[in-house]
């Protein structure tokens, strides 16, 4: 049996807080501002997950403490409401996405309110609301006017089951992130945002923000800055016919030092030169090969463990140093979209090249050896036997190619140089012949934002036969989603079939025109929502510069690590674009980032419907109360670590809260004296511990400290109203309902959320110090300063280690040590 009716108390205070608006940010610049942001949820039909609760409870604790410390805190919530699941649900059930989304949002809001999170509800924002997506469209036009949004035909990732294009970030292991169907490549006209123009700034900015190193590394890796050399291979061919012209192929390499080991030059099948250089003899096989490559996903083409295929073109080029003839091949492990779309194939030193050479019997020339081994290797090493394990693990992980840098052999005038020296010398030599230069490449691609779907913001562009691509005038925004649509996927946007939407007059010439029927990726919506929260009801602007300057950048962003690349990179990109446009005064949106750890199922596996181990926060809150649920999730383990659910653990938290209830009631009903010295010291220690732990996101150890205090307090006959008040303030961010209720029972009228956060007296947090006399055989020899009540064994150790004492006991046997606590220690020898 629980000791109090949490249901009654919790709903009572939730209503009261809402009435009094105790959680709003104020337009008051006299106080320090603090902007705490939770990643806003996609309002799915499943409702809140205990993982959401983890993230929101952590943020709420920080927010409540900061408010009590007098900060002006912004803590908004909203809905990432556009997206595929609502549309897929519409296809299945016939329920319009707007309808199901609204219902889901109501449910999410109800759940959040029932857990007492102190959000600034009047700022609630919904990305599928025309009042929001009007500005998403406005931002698109801003990008467009600045040359940062463009349309291009491009090979795109296509999911045949979702019937849509996917961003690279939405392809996981060659499969669609959502439906796990295999992703294929297709050529389509698509809209892109020019994020690649920001590659270096996106890299450099990472140095100045307080984010987990792991997330920064993932962003760096995704941007993939690569320093290398572009080398030109010239054909200089002897023409057999008029149609054969000279050509040259540029390749990008990070290992120019391996140039003497090149066996062939390989073009991507889509490389524009392929058609030009292929000899008549090879035209048919090359054509065939190009066709089959089109059906493959990028991952299928590039994975090191996969079979490498290719065909010769019959053409050859000259080695830039030796002048030797080098055959030109095409192979689909070379991507058209990276570097120059061509590589020099060096089988001895690159895994993929090795696989390729092995398959087609190409020469494998070893030209770099582990430093210090060069003497052992004869010149002209020729073929390596496939799979042979090199001595001293010289070869790469897969035991085939030696991929490390080392010292050059068989490389003409460059033999004997280290790889680093050779890279410099070779670039110099190539540059003087105009056959090469240093080059930096990035793996980052422009962001493909077109989606052939309904439930997203329409791209505000109109196509006119006379005027071409015409942006929708700003005064005509928003371009509203029509209602007369059929959701069944056809491969074209459902908007194409809507007459009310599709047919439009050209804003320039007034002639017949048609609207762009693609919608934007939902990641566009979430790239700027943190700005909208600052002035959520502004009907004239996407955001007010005044309010954004007041609140932004976000001081603390809390959310899942799964957004390491997509959302967090896009938001940074948007922020930089808006900074350049002079609309905001900062370049990084999120100063500090914290990722909550995943809440796992009871057995330690991931929670999933199919495993039937999903814990529903509604059920837990009904059975234990919102305070218990919140507090338990914070007590489960380190905030940033993954941790399994444990039903026994929450029962422990129930008991703790019951004991809080009983103890404070005891204080109210009996006239307890104020805390004695020992309890007072423990209270100050607890205040310090809880305060510092919250700042360090160590919510679990802060709770332990409160538990320790409560134990001592409930045993003690002291600790009256003042003690209770201080303790409840510490508890309030974690368990706001019970804290508020008991705070009022102590006779207070104002909300505890508006009280001042307790301070501690540093001196009282230190243990009291006593002077201990050390005797040897009853004679005073020295003294020791130790904490009052110090452990006896520890005191003995300190006494024996004392320099003066050592002089008296050296060489003698210690027979006995007598300790009178806090007073005397006598060593008998």
Binding residues for ligand ANZ, per CB under 6 A? Answer: 226, 228, 252-255, 258, 268, 334-335, 338-339, 341, 343-344, 346, 349-350, 441
- Three-state SS string over 555-570 comes to CEEEECHHHCCHHHHH
Q: Which is nearer to Zn ion, 6 or 501 (CB)?
A: 501
Neighbouring C-beta atoms of residue 682, cutoff 10 Å: 22
Buried b (16+ CB within 10 A) or exposed e, 685-707: bbbbbbbebbeebbbbebbebbb
Shortest distance in whole angstroms from residue 269 CB to ligand ANZ: 11
Return the number of the residue (249 or 735) whose C-beta is nearest ligand ANZ. 249
DSSP secondary structure code for residue 603 in this structure: T
CB hemisphere CA count around 793 (13 angstroms): 0
d(CA 633, CA 597): 11
Q: How far is the CB of 205 from ligand ANZ (least distance, A)?
A: 22
Q: Write the CB contacts of 683 (distance below 8 Å, at least 6 apart in sequence).
A: 675, 709, 719, 723, 726, 727
Question: In what helix (H) or strand (E) does residue 360 lie, and over which residues does it extend?
Answer: helix 351-360
φ, ψ of residue 600 to 5 degrees: the values are -95, 170
Sign of the Cα torsion 468, 82, 80, 195 reads negative
Shortest gap between Cβ of 70 and ligand ANZ (angstroms)?
A: 51
Task: Tell me whether residue 166 or residue 513 sits nearer to Zn ion (CB atom).
Answer: 513
531 binds, among Zn ion, ligand ANZ, none (CB under 5 to 8 A by kind): none
Q: Is 467 in the site for Zn ion (CB under 5 A)?
A: yes
Question: Which range binds Zn ion by CB under 5 A, 411-419, 465-473, 474-482, 514-522?
Answer: 465-473
**Beta carbons of 626 and 115 less than 8 angstroms apart:** yes
Q: H or E stretch including 280?
A: none
**How far apart are CB 463 and Zn ion at their closest, in Å?**
9
For the beta carbon of residue 314, count every other beta carbon within 10 angstroms. Answer: 17
Smaller CB separation from ligand ANZ, 305 or 540: 305
Instruction: Give least dist CB 354 to ligand ANZ, A.
Output: 9
Segment contacting Zn ion by CB under 5 A, of 76-84, 331-339, 456-464, 800-808: 456-464
Of 178 and 319, CB closest to ligand ANZ: 319
**Interaction residues for Zn ion, span 689-748 (CB under 5 A):** none
Cβ 256 to ligand ANZ shortest distance, Å: 8
Q: Which is nearer to Zn ion, 173 or 468 (CB)?
A: 468
Q: How far is the CB of 260 from ligand ANZ (least distance, A)?
A: 11
> Which residue number, 8 or 505, has a Cβ lying nearer to Zn ion?
505
Interacting partner of 508 out of ligand ANZ, Zn ion, none (Cβ under 5 to 8 A depending on kind)? Zn ion
Kindly state the smallest distance separating residue 335's Cβ from ligand ANZ, in Å.
Answer: 4
Among 220, 275, 466, 546, contact with Zn ion (rule: CB under 5 A): 466
**Smallest distance, Å, CB 469 to Zn ion?**
10
Contacted by 818, from Zn ion, ligand ANZ, none: CB < 5 to 8 Å by type: none
With residues binned 3-state (H G I as helix, E B as strand, rest as coil), the percentages for the chain, rounded to 5, are 40, 20, 40
DSSP-assigned beta bridge partners for residue 183 = 159
Q: Cis link prior to 408 (omega < 30° from 0)?
A: no
Segment 9-28, which members bind Zn ion (CB under 5 A)?
none
Contact pattern from residue 586 through residue 625 relative to Zn ion, giving x for each residue in contact according to CB under 5 A and a dash for the rest: ----------------------------------------
Angstrom distances, CA of residue 680 to CA of 65, 719, 786 = 22, 8, 20
User: Measured between alpha carbons, how far is 134 from 531 in angstroms, rounded to an integer?
Assistant: 14
Instruction: List the single partner that 802 binds among Zn ion, ligand ANZ, none, CB under 5 to 8 Å by kind.
Output: none
Query: End-to-end distance of the chain based on CA atoms, in angstroms?
Result: 60
Q: Which residue blocks in 119-194 are alpha helix, DSSP H?
A: 130-145
Number of residues that bind Zn ion (CB under 5 A): 7
**Least gap, CB of 517 to Zn ion (angstroms):** 18
Least distance to Zn ion, CB of residue 108, Å:
44
Decide: 776 and 824 in contact? Cβ < 8 Å.
no
Residue closer to ligand ANZ by CB (options 272, 468) is 272
- Going by their DSSP bridges, the two strands 325-331 and 342-345 should be labelled as unpaired
Q: Given the DSSP bridges, would you call strands 72-74 and 33-38 parallel, antiparallel or unpaired?
A: parallel
Q: Which does 467 bind (CB under 5 to 8 A by kind): Zn ion, ligand ANZ, none?
A: Zn ion
CB crowding 315-336: b at 16 or more within 10 Å, else e: bbbbbbbeeeebbbbbbbbbbb
For residues 628 and 657, the answer to whether their CB atoms sit within 8 Å is yes
- Of 390 and 644, which has the nearer Cβ to ligand ANZ? 390
Question: Closer to ligand ANZ at the Cβ: 116 or 228?
Answer: 228
Binder of Zn ion out of 464, 534, 568, 706 (CB under 5 A): 464
List the structure tokens of 389. Answer: 């394990």
Q: Which does 788 bind (CB under 5 to 8 A by kind): ligand ANZ, Zn ion, none?
A: none
Residue 464's binding partner, choosing from Zn ion, ligand ANZ, none, with beta-carbon cut-off 5 to 8 A by kind?
Answer: Zn ion
Binders of Zn ion among residues 500 to 539 (CB under 5 A) are 506, 508-509, 511
For ligand ANZ, the closer of residues 296 and 541 by Cβ is 296
What is the contact surface with Zn ion in residues (CB under 5 A)?
A: 464, 466-467, 506, 508-509, 511
């Amino acid at each position: 049996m629980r000791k109090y009716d949490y249901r009654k108390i919790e709903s009572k205070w939730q209503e009261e807080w809402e009435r009094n608006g105790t959680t709003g940010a104020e337009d008051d610049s006299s106080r320090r501002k603090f902007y705490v942001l939770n990643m806003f949820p996609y309002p799915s039909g499943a409702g809140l997950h205990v993982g959401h609760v983890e993230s929101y409870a952590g943020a709420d604790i920080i927010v409540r403490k900061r408010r009590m410390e007098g900060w002006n805190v912004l803590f908004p919530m909203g809905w990432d409401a556009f997206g595929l699941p609502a549309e897929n649900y519409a296809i299945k059930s016939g329920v319009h996405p707007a309808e199901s989304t609204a219902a889901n949002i109501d449910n999410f809001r109800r759940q959040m309110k029932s857990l007492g999170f102190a959000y600034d509800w009047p700022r609630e924002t919904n990305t599928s609301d025309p009042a929001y997506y009007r500005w998403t469209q406005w931002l698109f036009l801003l990008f467009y006017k600045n040359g940062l949004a463009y349309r291009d035909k491009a090979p795109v990732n296509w999911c045949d089951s979702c019937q849509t294009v996917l961003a690279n970030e939405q392809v996981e292991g060659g499969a669609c992130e959502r439906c796990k169907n295999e992703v294929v490549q297709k050529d389509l006209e698509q809209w892109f945002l020019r994020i690649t123009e920001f590659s270096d700034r996106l890299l450099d900015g990472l140095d100045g923000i307080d984010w987990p190193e792991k997330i920064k590394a993932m962003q760096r890796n995704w941007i993939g800055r690569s320093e290398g050399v572009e080398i030109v291979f010239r054909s200089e061919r002897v023409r057999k016919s008029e149609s054969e012209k000279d050509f040259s192929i540029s390749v990008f390499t990070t290992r120019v030092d391996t140039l003497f080991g090149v066996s062939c030059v390989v073009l991507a099948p889509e490389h524009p030169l392929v058609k030009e250089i292929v000899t008549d003899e090879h035209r048919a096989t090359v054509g065939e090969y190009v066709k089959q490559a089109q059906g493959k996903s990028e991952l299928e083409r590039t994975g090191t463990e996969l079979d490498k295929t290719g065909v010769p073109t019959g053409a050859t080029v000259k080695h830039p140093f030796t002048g030797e003839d080098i055959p030109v091949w095409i192979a689909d492990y070379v991507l058209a979209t990276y570097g120059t779309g061509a590589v020099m194939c060096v089988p001895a030193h690159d895994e993929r090249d090795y696989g390729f050479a092995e398959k087609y019997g190409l020469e494998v020339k070893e030209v770099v050896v582990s430093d210090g081994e060069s003497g052992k290797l004869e010149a002209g090493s020729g073929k390596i036997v496939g799979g042979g394990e090199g001595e001293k693990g010289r070869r790469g992980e897969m035991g085939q190619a030696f991929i490390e840098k080392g010292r050059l052999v068989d490389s003409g005038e460059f033999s004997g140089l280290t790889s680093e020296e050779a890279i410099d010398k070779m670039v110099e030599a190539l540059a003087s012949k105009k056959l090469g230069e240093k080059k930096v490449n990035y793996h980052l691609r422009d962001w493909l934002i077109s989606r052939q779907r309904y439930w997203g913001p329409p791209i505000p562009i109109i196509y006119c036969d006379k005027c071409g691509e015409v942006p929708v005038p700003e005064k005509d925004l928003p371009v509203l989603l029509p209602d007369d649509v059929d959701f069944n996927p056809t491969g074209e946007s459902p908007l194409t079939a809507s007459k009310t939407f599709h047919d439009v007059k050209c804003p320039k010439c007034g002639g017949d025109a048609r609207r762009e029927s693609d919608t934007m990726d939902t990641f566009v919506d979430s790239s700027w929502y943190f700005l909208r929260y600052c002035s959520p009801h502004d009907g004239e602007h996407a955001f007010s510069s005044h309010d954004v300057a007041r609140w932004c950048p976000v001081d603390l962003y809390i959310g899942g690590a799964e957004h390491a690349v997509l959302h967090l990179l896009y938001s940074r990109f948007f922020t930089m674009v808006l900074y350049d446009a002079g609309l905001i005064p900062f370049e990084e949106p999120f100063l500090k980032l914290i990722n909550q750890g995943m809440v796992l199922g009871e057995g330690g596996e991931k929670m999933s419907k199919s495993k039937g181990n999903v814990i529903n926060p509604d059920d837990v809150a009904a059975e234990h109360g919102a305070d218990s649920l919140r507090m338990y999730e914070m007590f489960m383990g380190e905030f940033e670590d993954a941790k399994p659910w444990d039903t026994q653990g929450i029962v422990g938290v129930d008991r703790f809260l019951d004991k809080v209830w009983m103890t404070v009631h005891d204080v109210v009903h009996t006239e307890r004296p104020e805390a004695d010295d020992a309890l007072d010291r423990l209270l100050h220690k607890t205040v310090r511990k809880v305060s510092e732990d919250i700042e360090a996101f160590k919510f679990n150890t802060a709770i332990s400290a409160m538990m320790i205090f409560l134990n001592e307090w409930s045993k003690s006959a002291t600790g009256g109203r003042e003690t209770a008040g201080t303790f409840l303030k510490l508890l309030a961010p974690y368990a706001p309902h019970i804290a508020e209720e008991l705070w009022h029972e102590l006779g207070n009228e104002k909300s505890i959320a508006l009280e001042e956060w307790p301070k501690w007296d540093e001196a009282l947090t230190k243990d009291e110090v006593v002077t201990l006399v050390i005797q040897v055989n009853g004679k005073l020899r020295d003294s020791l300063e130790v904490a009052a009540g110090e452990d006896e064994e520890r005191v003995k150790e300190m006494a024996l280690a004392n320099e003066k004492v050592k002089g008296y006991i050296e060489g003698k046997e210690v027979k006995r040590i007598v300790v009178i606590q806090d007073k005397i220690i006598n060593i008998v020898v």
